[in-house]
Amino acid sequence: MSATILFWAITFAQIMLTIAMVLALTRMIKGPRAQDRVLGLDTLYVNSMLLILVFGIRTGNTLYFEVSLIIGILGFVATVALAKFLMRGEVIE
Amino acid sequence: MNHVADFPLWMAWFVAAFLIIGAGLTLIGSFGLYRLRSFYDRIHAPTLGTSWGTAAIVLASIIYFSVLQSRPVFHEILIGIFVTITTPVTFMLLGRAALYRDRSEKNPEVPAMDSPKSILDELKLMDKPESVYLESGERE
Amino acid sequence: MSQLFPYPLLIIFLIIMWLLLTSFSLGQIIVGTVIALVAAQGMAALQPAKPRLKRWDLLLKLIGIVLYDIARSNIAVTRIILQGNKRKRKSGFMTIPLNLRDPIGLTILAVIITSTPGTAWLGYNFAQGTLLLHVFDLVDEAVWLDLIKNRYEYFLLEIFE
C-alpha cells in the first residue's frame, strides 16, 4: 500500500516538474529579451535540481543528492555570470 | 520500488504530500514565468519554486531517507540552505541588470535613475552663482 | 585564542557541513576541523566587517516571522497566478526610505525581501538611503510600506543598532 502511494506521488511529482521545465524552457526560447531568457535558464536549473532530488527518492540512492547539489551550484554561477554580462556587456572587467 | 515494501503508511502519506506540494508550487511558479506579461512580474514567479517548492521536496527527501535507512539523514538540508542563500543574489543581480538595461534604453515604464540625477541637481545648484557671475561678466 | 578561531560560528557551520557531506566519524571530524580552521583563516585574511549582534533572541523571532510570511505570500502569489486576468491586479515600483544603515542588516533585509514571493529588491541608493522595490500585488502602497518598515526594519534596527 505505502509503496503504491509513494510510486504514484513520485510519478506525479516528476511529471509536474517536467512540465515546469518545459514551461521554463519555452520562456527561455521565446524571450523576448535577454533578461527573460536568463530568468528562464535559472528556473530551468532549479527545476532540474528538484527533479533529480525526486529521482533520488525514486531509486532510494543518496548519490543523486550530490548530483543535484552540483547542478544547483552550476546554475548559481551561470546565472550570476550572465546577469553580470547583461549589466555591462562584459564578464571580466 | 521494491525497497519500500515495509515503509510505514502514515509516513508514506507525509512524503507523498510534501512531494506533491513542492512539485505543484514549482509548476505554478514556472507557469507564472511562462504566462505573466512583463519581466518585472515574471521575476516574482520562480521564487515560489525556490522557497517552499524546494523546502517541501527537501523535507520529503529527509523524511524518506531517514525512515528508509532507520537513522537521521538530513544532508539534503544543505540544498535548502544553499538555495536560500543563492536565490536572492541571482534575482537581485538579474533585477538590477534588467533595470540598468531598461534605463539605458530610456524605457518610460521603469523609474528613472535617481542618484546621478540628484547629484546633477546638486551640482547645478552649486553652479548657479558661478554661472550668474559668468553671464553678468559676459554682459559687461 | 581569537586569532586561532577568528569566526567561531563559521567554523562550527563548516564542520557540520563537512560531516553532512561525508559521514559522522572521528577521522572526518579531524579533517573537517582542519579544513574549517584553514577556511576561517582565509576569511580573516579578507578582513570583512565583523557583525555586531545585539539581540540574539530577536534574530530567532525574526526568522520565525519571515518563514511564516514566506508561506503566506506563497499562497497569495499562487492564488494570483492561478486566477489569471479575472481579477484586476496592479504591480509596480515603489521607493521606501530606510533608517537602517548597517551593511549586514541591509543584506539580511535584501535576502528577506527577495526570498519572499511578491516582492523583489531592485536597488538601494546609498546617498539617500532609499530602497527601490518591485511589488507584485500593489493594491495599497501603505500596507507594503508598513510591512517593510514596521515588521522587518524595526527588528533589524533593534538587532544591529
pLDDT, tens digit, 9 for 90 and up, residues A15-28: 999 999 999 999 99
ipTM of this complex prediction, to 2 decimal places: 0.88
Q: Is C68 touching B (CB cutoff 8 A)? A: no
In angstroms, the separation between the Cα of residue C3 and the nearest Cα of chain B is: 27
In angstroms, rounded to a whole number, what is the distance separating the alpha carbons of residues B55 and B58?
A: 5
In angstroms, rounded to a whole number, what is the distance separating the alpha carbons of residues B115 and B126?
A: 17
- DSSP strands (E only) in chain C: 92-97, 119-125, 130-135
Helix, coil or strand: residue C129: coil
Confidence of residue C86 (pLDDT cuts 50, 70, 90): low
Buried b (16+ CB within 10 A) or exposed e, B39-76: bbbbbbbbbbbbbbbbbbbbbbbbbbbebbeeeebebb
CA angle B14-C114-A17, nearest 5°?
40
What are the residues facing C134 on neighbouring strands? Answer: C93, C120
In angstroms, the separation between the Cα of residue A93 and the nearest Cα of chain B is: 16
What are the residues facing C125 on neighbouring strands? Answer: C130
Confidence of residue B110 (pLDDT cuts 50, 70, 90): confident
Number of structural domains (chain A) is 1
Which of B26, B31, B44, B122 to mutate against chain C (most C CBs within 10 Å)? B44
Cell numbers found for residue A51: 527533479
Q: Do C128 and B48 lie within an 8 Å CB cutoff? A: no
Q: Do B23 and A50 lie within an 8 Å CB cutoff? A: yes
Q: Is B55 touching A (CB cutoff 8 A)? A: no
A41-45, A66-70, C108-112 — which is least confidently predicted? C108-112
